[in-house]
Amino acid sequence: MPPLTLDHLRRHAVARSLFKPTTLMRAVTKLGFVQADPIRAPARAQDLTLRHRVIDYRAGDLERRYPRLALEEDFFVNYGFLPRATQALMHPRVAREDWTPARWRQAHAVRDFIAERGAVHPREVDAHFAHGKVSNWFGGSSNASTQLLDGMHYRGLLRVARRDGGTRVYALREQDATVLDADEIDRRLDHMLDLLVRKYAPLPAASLRQLMSYLGRGVPQWHAARAATLARSRARLGGARIEGIDWIWPADESPQGRRWRPDAEVRLLTPFDPVVWDRRRFELLWDWRYRFEAYTPAPKRTLGYYALPLLWGDRVIGWGNVSVVDGALDTRLGYVEGKAPRDAAFRDGLDAELARMRVFLGLS
């Protein structure tokens, strides 16, 4: 068999992530985790991720169907949606910073309030308790009740029952009083690491180390065990050194396998899509720098506010800024090579992708 190359890895990365569209629950389970983001440009990140992987998916389907599915919202390596069984692996979660006794009294009072009503909107909690305002992480002010509910959710006291207009509505989460021994903690961490590899493979080894650091948001109580988890993974994961970089993938896969053949479609991907999420891997596989610039001052942006990477086959050849203006799709594209490919197949593929985007957004 010829030596592995970055071409093999590029095809492997695209084909394994952009699997044949399936049902919503199966797609989330196959991905393992879907990152959420509140920005709509032209839709939320979770919807832009799922539209490529779920049959006949429409913007907002995840929010609409969430209450009927075995899914949860929670922190994993970042905030998003994941199967309930996976979320259970992270609990009982112990936050890095404990609350004061007064804060715990507030939390218990709110929990009793929610127990009486079944599910509550943050507005109801604020109206009942009048907790006031607090400073938030970006320098503004938020309702103290909202921060309290966020903290209770993170600690596993509450779950998100549904969303109303994008706002989380909370219900009680059954308390897990299980005392875990060291073997069970190792088993859970191994499972979560394998989930990350299956989601983002093939991965540079440095990226896996970074992902395990991010996992500290989901399981801060097991911070000390993460290094040993990484060490154990070396014995069961596949991988190779290619052009001076150590790469990792699931042991039951080979990047040279015949099944890793990306289709020739054109796709606009969210900045949080698994294909492009790891910026280190992105630059190694596509040889240009993509940056998410929504929080970059406008004069310093080079790609745009919410540039969607433009994938053609197994090549990310540019980006698009897409919005809805007066009920119509407004698309502004940029290309790494400075201009669009002259290939008719690309033009047809782009037309098809923009038509799919209109249907996804309900514009046709």
Residues 78-120 have pLDDT tens digits of 999 999 999 999 999 999 999 999 999 999 999 999 999 999 9
Q: What is the mean pLDDT of residues 269-288?
A: 98
Give pLDDT tens digits for 315-344.
999 999 999 999 999 999 999 999 999 999
In the chain, the amino acid numbered 81 is F
Whether residue 214 is found in the same domain as residue 270: no
Whether residue 245 is found in the same domain as residue 289: no
Give a yes or no: residue 261 inside a domain.
Answer: no
Helix (H) or strand (E) holding 73: strand 71-75
Reply yes or no on whether the pLDDT at 138 is more than 90: no
Q: What is the mean pLDDT of residues 284-305?
A: 96
Whether residue 298 is found in the same domain as residue 329: yes
Q: How confident is the model at residue 134 (pLDDT cuts 50, 70, 90)?
A: low
Give a yes or no: residue 12 inside a domain.
Answer: no
Give a yes or no: residue 116 inside a domain.
Answer: yes
Give a yes or no: residue 60 inside a domain.
Answer: no
**Whole-prediction pTM:** 0.93
Whether residue 279 is found in the same domain as residue 350: yes
Cα–Cα dist 273/81, whole Å: 14
Range of the domain at 284: 266-361
Can you give the pLDDT at residue 257? 81
Taking Cα atoms as reference points, which of 162, 158, 160, 161 lies closest to residue 172? 158
Give a yes or no: residue 192 inside a domain.
Answer: yes
**What's the number of domains the chain is made of?**
3
Q: What is the mean pLDDT of residues 42-63?
A: 98
Give a yes or no: residue 335 inside a domain.
Answer: yes
Reply yes or no on whether the pLDDT at 141 is more than 50: no
Greatest Cα pair distance, the chain, in angstroms, is 69
Q: How much of the chain, in percent, has pLDDT values that exceed 90?
A: 90
Q: Decide which of 249, 283, 304 is a domain's last residue.
A: 249
Q: Decide which of 218, 249, 280 is a domain's last residue.
A: 249
Whether residue 354 is found in the same domain as residue 281: yes
Whether residue 166 is found in the same domain as residue 241: no
Q: What is the mean pLDDT of residues 141-149?
A: 80
Whether residue 146 is found in the same domain as residue 190: no
Can you give the pLDDT at residue 209? 96
Whether residue 239 is found in the same domain as residue 157: no
Give a yes or no: residue 23 inside a domain.
Answer: no
The CATH number of the domain where 135 resides is what?
Answer: 1.10.10
Whether residue 310 is found in the same domain as residue 284: yes
Cα–Cα dist 316/29, whole Å: 26
